[in-house]
Structure 1
Amino acid sequence: MTHKPVRQPLVLATAVASALYLPTLPALAQSPGLSLEEVVVTARRRSENLQDVPIAVTAISGLELRLRGASDITELAQSIPSVTLEPSRATNTTLTAFIRGIGQQDPLAGFEQGVALYLDDVYLARPQGALLDIYDVERIEVLRGPQGTLYGRNAVGGAIKYVTRRLSNELEGSVRASYGDYDQVDLVGTVSVPVSDTFRVGATVASFDRDGFGKNLFTGGEQYDKDIFGYRLSAEFEPTENLLIRAAYDNTQDDSSPVAGYRPFPGAVSGQPVLNNVRDTTAGASVLPTTAGINGNNEVQTEGWSLSIDYQLNEQITLRSITSAREDYTESVIDFDGLAVPDFDAPVIYDNEQTSQEFQLLFNSDRWNAVLGYYYLDVEAANDFDVVLGQLAPGGITAYTGGTVKTEAWSAFADVTYNLTPQLSVSVGGRYTEDQRDADIFRGNYLGTGSPFLGNDSAVLLAATSDFEASRTFYDFSPRVNVSYLLNDDMTVYAGYSQGWKAGSFDPRGANFATPEVERGFDAEELDSFELGFKATWLEGRAITNIALFYSEYSDMQIPGSVGADSDGDGVNDTFVGTVTNAAESTISGLEIEGNVLLTENFSMQFSASLLDTSIDEWLVNGVDVSDQRAIQNTPEEMAFIGATYVTPLRDGDLRLMANWSYKGDITQFELPAPVIDQEAYDLINASVVWTSMDESWMLGLHGKNLTDEDVKTAGYCFGDGGCPSRLGLENNTTVFFAPPRTWTATVEYRF
């Protein structure tokens, strides 16, 4: 991986010199002196000061997110080390997440994410609808490294926990309205009502609307717009001091327009020139016959409910149950060619359902802390899509793919911490998992625009390319051990080893007639991670520093991809197949630094940085090691962040002036470097001005993002020139997706 030489020394200097960042709002103690506010998290299934937790975890409060003007969880990646969060290609609310080089690029059935996302302790098995807009949130915790001995689903790379607010015993509520350029209008209202001394109900309603950052010059529609409506209902019943029952239901509807990538090359057949604006398009799939099977529709619907019960048996033992069910449905228009011609278009349907049940026993005493748990997950994930090659033959050629992958998994886990002395503690944990995958997959090539499965009954079957049912069960035991030592009241050092594991599965796009081994599926992957850490509070509580040094050995890494294929041997690619491989061995190591310092009563600074060394050490293709031609996806080897906050009294309130700079090194989007879609190192600068009334009932803010108007590539489809592994369609089909340009937003919030 190459890097801009002018930028690298700056990042190295920042990483070494600025060991002072924890991204949470500094609070001033009224007496006896100046200090940072204690941050409480539940990363280890109990409430603890973040500085006492001997793992790499970052917590950002809901207040801090509102002060920053953060819109969705992708913005966390600007300030948290070793984290990449982006919308998946051609989507608005499907999440692509990577932590320490581990994640998942394709949101297809049967592919669980390497980074686990939780909504109030409920694991979200599918990435559709997982790019959560930030509302009704108490805090967001990001845990780096393998997770699995403390709660929920096993995760190889880490976990993101979205924690919503508890309901109040008093009538409370808030209304927030935002207006910005591109006619952005966001409205969020929330209320908490105590029905009785023991029963509370709450509701939040949110609407997020914005015109597109670009235009569709063919249809006249929007490009990169936003049209999302969501709500959440919750209730809490606390009949005694020892029993708490929480219930919640959430629903989100995303009706944003389809997103098409920018074409860096002219149309090879149509002659369509390269557009001037990288966020404009001439994509026509939404109004062409190629997507008639879904009526050119583009939407994501997600909903789910959860029921959690906490019963404190005595002062030492708490029993917990977490029950949930979720489902999502997506109809998506993917225009691979980005043109008004039907060269390479795909109507896509994703349909996912999941249920989960978790039981925990928590034990706490002066010297012992323990979690014992059982987790069950039942998921059915299906995708149906046509790949329509409308110019390849008269009437068009369509490659249909229909795949359903079912997952039924159960796990038993335990994690025990024993305080050998007031300074020294040892944690030992383990997780046993049985994970069964069942697949039912059919693929066929048709003459015609669309297949019978998506509405074209006149399509003629040319040949089936895949038709199989298969099942595999995977077994694993993953251990964890951690030793922490309290050097003094303000400094902790720790060392730990943990193993991450993710079951294998089946590629729902695999063509078993041409490649019979796809019926066997792909193997499980495993990560052995070693970590050393140091956490310190100093300058009499005015500064904190957290440092983590880790080394990971990654074996049988699952890498999904897709390439064009020639099904009839005529020398022209006429179909689209998945290619899931297990790279034999890779190594990822790094240094992460976070810190926060309160310099004066009015001025504070925040810093973070990460330096990663990533390499694929062995990758065999037909017996040949091609590791020197491969790279770790979506993982910049350098990252840095510097933020500053100045607070001054103004008109019965406080005025906060905030600014931050973030830097990320070169990013390779896929395992095969392709310069046309890969992102070179870049900077982002954001700034906010926020006034808060003395009683905290009013908040007025003005937020500017990407102030230097950088064009940042987030993803791409590579089926043409620019270093792509294969070609498909006739128009030189390489397209690139971009992050938002420079924006401003004004916000008014009233709380009562």
Structure 2
Amino acid sequence: MKSRISNLSSVAVAISTALISQIAIATEEDSGLERIEVTARKSVESLQEVPVAVTSISADELAEKGIEVLTEVQQFSPNTTLQRSRGTNSTITAFIRGVGQQDPLWGYEAGVGIYIDDVYIARPQGAVLDLLDIERVEVLRGPQGTLYGKNTVGGAIKYVTKEMSGDAELNVQGTMGLYNQRDIKVTGQYPIIEDKLYVGFGLASLQRDGYGEFLESDLDHQDEENYNKDVVAGRLTLEYRATDDLFFSLNWDKTQDDSNSKGGYRLLPSVLTEAPVPDSVYDSYTSLPTWNEVELEGISFKANWDVADNTSLKYVFSSRDSYSPTNIDFDNTALRIFDVPAIYDDEQKTHELQLNHYGDNYKFVSGLYYYDGESCGQFEAILEVLGQAIGVPGLTREVSGCSNSTSKAVYAQLSYDLSEKWSVTAGARYTKDEKEAKVNNGLIFATVYPESGWVDGYVRPEGDLVPTVLDDEDDWSKFTPRIGVEYQANDDLMFFTSFAQGFKSGTFNPRATTAEPAADPEEVDSFEIGMKSEWLDNRLRANITLFSLDHDDRQYISVLPSEDATELNQRLGNIGSSEATGIEAEFTYLATDNLLLTASFGYIDSDFKEVIDTDPETGQEFDKSDSFSISNTPDYTYNLGANYTIESDVGDFIINASYYYRDDYVLFEENSLLTQDGYGIANVSVNWYSTDADWYAGLHVKNLADQEYMIGGYQFVAPQPDGSYLPGLGGDNTLIGYYGDPRTISFTLGYQF
């Protein structure tokens, strides 16, 4: 660990020295880079003043790059993975610095927190947000346990919406593109009472045909498009400025995603069907209905009271519901070999009361937080072909249950200036979690779906079909500190170092087959050394962070071999620990008043230190860390970008180009059979803004070289020494890949009233 930190420190010193040497060629122009404001520490600050590794992308940047969904933000944040999950278009897989959560099953806690404004989104279903009426996106890297609480052991993603200006506004935007893309977005605001009461709204219809199709199915009258998009989203906001010191806002949002369930690409031929491996990675087979649904609805209320010139009090309430019936065909054949129709049903309510106080040489942030959530679900592992092979008409393993949790926390953080150059930051959070879980699990010797009518003519049998195997509760508490030291060398150069801790909540196994105990919380200890700097009369911005982290008590579902092919054999436990060291660097250079160059680089050296498992037959513990890798985490990522403005009599043209590269990575932690080789994505956009700033247009080409890259998968096969595979659960070669978007071209035209 020390040698890795030493090497990274040498790299950081070299970069810093090179930057300082550039002062000699500074230009005499007065213009410079714009100030970027963030709320990473729950108060509005300049990006360059915040001793936190954070990437902020403004609404203008997102629009000029043609960014449409939250997952695309991963291209601009080092050591960050944001992907659509397996089988659906709107479930997120998020990893930062090698820390995250891949399995989206109910009851599992995320490792990267997703926030809409000040509201925590507890579940990954529906968290692939389409960008509508947004101000900026912030990516906070590293544990954020002090200010943001549990389940931010990797970091946090903040989706910040626009606050209303008070003027009457209307923005209408349409987009057309390849694969019959046809999007309409309408946003606006209107003052009901001048300078007092405003209403804002946003509405989007986002439609696109599939990148591929379902080639064969035994079900008639279903949509054959694969990787399509069918989303309608709406947002309504009411803001009331009662006085200069008192502000209220009420927000409602709803999203209806009727995109088809994604079919995976078979990487191996099926041993039970004659269908070949598809020609396109976006084509698939299925024996399930192709429909899918994600319903999201939320309401939030915020009150902000400036008690005094240097003291404010804020209260935030939220209530969110999500419901998602989904069809995931694990084997991706026209036979019912390994089908998993499922339902996810989640509710959450949060309350947060925050007190901020500022003095001449200090900033103080504190608060109380309460979360109450219920996460329920059910899935059927349909193994009909296997059942028929053993002489029964069908075979289904049904798993259902709920995980109900409450979380209470109190937090405080103080930043204090010791002198004009030195300051310290110290904070802590105390969290108390309580969780109740119930799991039903058992075999049914028939083909069973979650509900009547799931397929044409199907009627679900009444009553409890499987027994309750777990009904338990547990609680955990954790004190998560943060301490840091900052040195402001001059107005444009700051160095900082910090220690931060985070934890991910303990949890019960939602796939439990026995009354097994809950897994303990995960913990992450992180050290950072960083620099925030601006050079060349504020024309060059360079922010560099070195980090190391220890990730202990990692929760993991262990899949063990068994002679019984009907068993899933999934045990949840704290199996071991991992460590990582790395560097993150972000540069912005205003080469001329019309040319902006950007670059970001992330490197991480991460591996498992210890993975302890128990042999189910002998009861002996053993270390199997040699078979484990950190998933969804390339050793390095980088992004190079250029933005050039051409001024003309008909308006401004902005040409934007970028190249994003991800090194190779594995998809699974244990004995991963799915590895994505390193790949690069080139994007080009041309934007136009009229002289009156009312009309605008954009032409966006993404993934210019049409790269194919894997973002998810399933592996239920047993590799053999000769390179062949033995069939896994269900009796087939289930090795499946899901892929990112192909080359797309779109044209956007908009008008602002």
Deviations 1:141-195 (A, max 9, x none): 1111111322465521111110000112110121111101000011100011011
| Paired residues of 1:169 and 1:194 also in contact (CA < 8 A) | yes
Q: How far apart are the structure 2 equivalents of 1:546 and 1:698?
A: 35
Q: How far apart are the structure 1 equivalents of 2:642 and 2:252?
A: 38
| Paired residues of 1:106 and 1:560 also in contact (CA < 8 A) | no
Q: How far apart are the structure 1 equivalents of 2:349 and 2:150?
A: 12
In the alignment, what sits opposite 1:511? Answer: 513
**The residue matched to 1:63 in structure 2 has which SS?**
helix
Q: Does 1:387 align with 2:381?
A: yes
Deviations 1:550-603 (A, max 9, x none): 010110012246x4875xxxx341143533232322101100000100111221
Question: Structure 1 residue 20: deviation in Å?
Answer: 11
Question: Structure 1 residue 454: deviation in Å?
Answer: 6.2
Change beyond 3 A, Cα 1:749–1:725: farther
**The residue matched to 1:599 in structure 2 has which SS?**
strand
Q: How far apart are the structure 2 equivalents of 1:280 and 1:628?
A: 35
| Paired residues of 1:121 and 1:152 also in contact (CA < 8 A) | no
Question: Structure 1 residue 377: deviation in Å?
Answer: 0.3
In the alignment, what sits opposite 1:613? Answer: 605
In the alignment, what sits opposite 1:748? Answer: 749
In the alignment, what sits opposite 1:347? Answer: 341
Q: How far apart are the structure 1 equivalents of 2:429 and 2:450?
A: 45
TM-score between both structures, scaled by the size of structure 1: 0.91
Between the aligned residues of both structures, percent identity stands at 38
In the alignment, what sits opposite 2:643? Answer: 645
Aligned ranges for residues 30-429 of structure 1 at < 5 Å?
Answer: 33-151=30-148, 155-196=152-193, 197-219=195-217, 221-286=224-289, 297-394=291-388, 395-429=393-427
Question: Structure 1 residue 460: deviation in Å?
Answer: 11
Question: Structure 1 residue 654: deviation in Å?
Answer: 1.1
Change beyond 3 A, Cα 1:400–1:202: same
Q: How far apart are the structure 1 equivalents of 2:172 and 2:471?
A: 52
Question: Structure 1 residue 99: deviation in Å?
Answer: 0.6
In the alignment, what sits opposite 2:578? Answer: 586
Change beyond 3 A, Cα 1:448–1:565: farther
| Paired residues of 1:19 and 1:607 also in contact (CA < 8 A) | no
TM-score between both structures, scaled by the size of structure 2: 0.91
Deviations 1:328-387 (A, max 9, x none): 000000101111111111110000000000001100111121011110000000111111
Question: Structure 1 residue 463: deviation in Å?
Answer: 9.7
Question: Structure 1 residue 458: deviation in Å?
Answer: 7.5
In the alignment, what sits opposite 1:547? Answer: 544
**The residue matched to 1:267 in structure 2 has which SS?**
coil
In the alignment, what sits opposite 1:601? Answer: 593
In the alignment, what sits opposite 1:24? Answer: none
Question: Which of 679, 682, 685 lines up with 1:685 in the alignment?
Answer: 682
Change beyond 3 A, Cα 1:13–1:371: closer
Question: Structure 1 residue 285: deviation in Å?
Answer: 1.1
Q: Give every structure 1 segment of 4 or more consecutive aligned residues whose post-TM-superposition deviation is greater than 6 Å.
A: 12-21, 452-463, 723-726
Change beyond 3 A, Cα 1:15–1:603: farther
| Paired residues of 1:565 and 1:577 also in contact (CA < 8 A) | yes
| Structure 1 alignment gaps of length 5 or more | 1-11, 22-30, 287-295
* Aligned amino acid, residue 205 of structure 2: S
Q: How far apart are the structure 2 equivalents of 1:18 and 1:692?
A: 38
Question: Structure 1 residue 464: deviation in Å?
Answer: 5.4
In the alignment, what sits opposite 1:4? Answer: none
Question: Structure 1 residue 17: deviation in Å?
Answer: 7.1
In the alignment, what sits opposite 1:495? Answer: 497
* Aligned amino acid, residue 423 of structure 2: S
Deviations 1:303-350 (A, max 9, x none): 000000000100111011000000100000010111111111111000
Q: How far apart are the structure 1 equivalents of 2:735 and 2:448?
A: 22
Q: How far apart are the structure 2 equivalents of 1:595 and 1:18?
A: 12
| Structure 2 alignment gaps of length 5 or more | 1-9, 20-27, 218-222, 615-620
* Aligned amino acid, residue 509 of structure 1: R
* Aligned amino acid, residue 611 of structure 1: Y
In the alignment, what sits opposite 1:699? Answer: 696
Deviations 1:96-140 (A, max 9, x none): 101111111011111111100100100001111110011110011
Q: How far apart are the structure 2 equivalents of 1:18 and 1:604?
A: 21
Deviations 1:652-707 (A, max 9, x none): 311111111111111111112434x2211111111111111233222211101111
Q: Which has the higher contact order (CA 8 A, sep 6+)?
A: 1
Q: How far apart are the structure 2 equivalents of 1:452 and 1:363?
A: 52
In the alignment, what sits opposite 2:730? Answer: 729
Question: Structure 1 residue 260: deviation in Å?
Answer: 1.1
| Paired residues of 1:447 and 1:460 also in contact (CA < 8 A) | no
Question: Which of 659, 662, 666 lines up with 2:660 in the alignment?
Answer: 662
* Aligned amino acid, residue 743 of structure 1: T
In the alignment, what sits opposite 1:573? Answer: 565
State the Cα RMSD in Å.
2.4
Change beyond 3 A, Cα 1:193–1:460: closer
**The residue matched to 1:328 in structure 2 has which SS?**
strand
